[in-house]
Amino acid sequence: MCKQALSSFNYIPQEMRAYLRNYGYSFSKRACEYAVSQMKRKNNATGKLENIEPYSKDKAEELLSKNGVTLENNVGYNFVYVMNMILADRWKSSVEDELHLCKAVKDEIDDVDGVPESVFRCWITKQEDKGIPIPWEDMI
């Protein structure tokens, strides 16, 4: 059983409450697309930040299947967000190929002492830390 998160004592806007009633602390398709659209990767040739070429749910599922990786604890679009986050932050650095990308997604999603909601909660916290408001009304 999950303990109540400390963030539950924060002010929660009405639109966020509506989102949580529908999806809980997990990524919906719209929320995932919004979050992934903000992901950037440094181009080593130019030194500039560039948007990533995002993986869709279908492409992510195809890649996992091709590499024999099965997720046990995924909820909603959480695995799609994680795959794109790893592409943005670790691709060709600590994650060198598609097999290891899939394994890294599994490690995050199926973390034995983690909770499925941690991926979404982490994203919310990062947005708050950066001072970026989340357009909850667009996610419903």
pLDDT in tens, the chain (140 residues): 456 665 666 788 999 999 999 999 999 999 999 999 999 999 989 999 999 999 999 999 999 999 999 999 999 999 999 999 999 999 988 999 999 999 999 999 999 999 889 999 999 999 988 999 999 999 98
3-state secondary structure of 51: strand
Determine how many CB atoms are found less than 10 A away from the CB of residue 44. Answer: 9
Phi, psi of 68 (to 5 degrees): 70, 30
Rounded to whole angstroms, the Cα distance separating 74 from 72 reads 6
pTM confidence score: 0.91
85: its two tokens? 């986050």
Q: Give 83-91's long-range contacts (Cβ < 8 A, gap of 24+).
A: 83/55, 84/36, 84/39, 84/52, 84/54, 84/55, 85/39, 87/39, 87/41, 87/52, 87/54, 87/55, 88/39, 88/40, 88/41, 88/52, 89/41, 91/41
Q: How far apart are CA 30 and CA 44, in angstroms?
A: 30
Per-domain residue ranges for the chain? 15-139
